[in-house]
Amino acid sequence: MPIPWLFDHFGKLNLALPTLFGMGMLACAVAIKWNLRRRVWFWITMLVIVGLHVALILLVPWTDRWVPGPALVPFGIVDLFVMLAIISVAKQLIGGPDAVDP
pLDDT tens profile 33-81: 999 999 999 999 999 999 999 999 889 888 777 778 788 899 999 999 9
3-state secondary structure of 3: helix
pLDDT tens profile 5-41: 777 777 777 788 888 889 999 999 999 999 999 999 9
> Residue 101: is its pLDDT beyond 50?
no
Q: What angle do CA 78, 79, 82 make, to 5 degrees?
A: 85
Q: How far apart are CA 53 and CA 55, in angstroms?
A: 5
Domain ranges in the chain? 2-94
> Residue 99: is its pLDDT beyond 70?
no
Q: How far apart are CA 102 and CA 99, in angstroms?
A: 9
* pTM assigned to the model: 0.81
Element at 41 (helix H, strand E): helix 40-59
